[in-house]
Amino acid sequence: MPLFVAPNSELDALLLSHSIEKGMSLDNPKEVFGEDKALLLLELLSKMEGVCFEYNVSMSILEEYIKSRGYESEKLNNIKSVYKKLKKEKPYKKIPAGIDYISRSEMMRKTQMDLFGFLSSRHDIRKTTDERIKKNEIQKAVTLASLAPSACNRQPWKVYYSMEKEKNIKLGEIVSGNKTFAQDMRYYCAIVLDYRFFANRLDEFRQIYLNAGIFIAYFVLALHFLGIGSCIMQFTGLVEDADKKSRELLNLKKSEQVMVVIGYGKYPEKIKYSKAGRRSADEIMVEF
């Protein structure tokens, strides 16, 4: 299993462009900020082969950064001309970037829902129906889950899924936590994270697990919203040669690793679940 991977320009571009966008979102950005970072970013982007998400998002952020600057400087002129040249040589797909505003009342209007009802009705279930799930339903769940926050907005996750029954069965066989109900779940997917999104630095230590956990929580909630039940299954890869088996089955890159496998499928008419009582807030809260 990989622990660290070599630095790469995609990661550097993500970190730099995120830092510029973050600067733009501050209440009181410094008058001149981000110029050196923008120049460095443009240098990286010029050397990048092909057009990838990192290129698109970086160029989109640079576009907004240039637009947002209310004053001129020599460096800014330089940034503008390198950006323009690069845009001409290698056009990019515009990705939402920069900053936006929303009023508090509008924000509150959007948040109104029965959150308790929604969250408290999600349970890990261990039997689904045999109904087919359409690819676009999985796509919807992934689109919702990709709203999950990640460190520097890296979005270091992938969802490996298959519409073929055989492959789902095979993925289900790799995990150990479903031995007594493996065939009762119609589908299995793997949440895979890529070490290439994390730098070889102490402050990045364990980041991969934090980011994975947040995405997984969003994903199972999104499935629940779409009428799809699920059960998260732990996957360390350390037992029964599971890491090797997962690499072969999913054809993973060396830098990728399965974080969990999720069994999922349409909710049956009568849903059986364990109550899995929770600790009270008092037990969890620690005043310091």
Would you tell me which residues interact with ligand FMN (CB under 6 A)?
123-124, 177-178, 231-234, 260, 273, 276
| Residue 174 Cβ vs ligand FMN, minimum distance, rounded to whole Å | 12
Tokens of 251: 């054809």
Give the shortest CB-232-to-ligand FMN separation in angstroms.
4
- Judged by CB, which is closer to ligand FMN: 98, or 213? 213
What is the spatial distance between Cα 98 and Cα 107, in angstroms, rounded to a whole number?
Answer: 19
62 or 232: whose CB is closer to ligand FMN? Answer: 232
- Shortest reach from residue 228's CB to ligand FMN, in Å: 14
Asked if 70 and 26 count as a contact pair (C-beta separation under 8 A), the reply is no
Q: How far is the CB of 243 from ligand FMN (least distance, A)?
A: 16
In the complex with ligand FMN, the residue whose CB is nearer, 33 or 273, is 273
Q: Which is nearer to ligand FMN, 11 or 185 (CB)?
A: 185
Query: Which is nearer to ligand FMN, 61 or 125 (by Cβ)?
Result: 125
Nearer to ligand FMN, 88 or 270 (CB): 270
DSSP string across the chain: --S-----HHHHHHHHHHHHHHHHHSSS--SS-SHHHHHHHHHHHHH--S--HHHHHHHHHHHHHHHH--S--HHHHHHHHHHHHHHHHS-------S-----HHHHHHHH-S-HHHHHHT--B-S--------HHHHHHHHHHHTTS--GGG---EEEE--S-HHHHHHHHHH-STTTTTGGG-SEEEEEEEEGGGS-SSGGGTTHHHHHHHHHHHHHHHHHHHTTEEEEEEE--S-STTHHHHHHHHHT--TTEEEEEEEEEEEPPSS------PPPPHHHH----
For the bound state, the minimum distance from the C-beta of residue 102 to ligand FMN, rounded and expressed in Å, comes to 32
Task: Output 20 or 260, the one with its CB closest to ligand FMN.
Answer: 260
Q: How far is the CB of 176 from ligand FMN (least distance, A)?
A: 7
Q: What are phi and psi of 264, to 5 degrees?
A: -150, 165
> CB of 126: closest distance to ligand FMN in angstroms?
6
Q: What residues form DSSP beta bridges with 192?
A: 158, 258
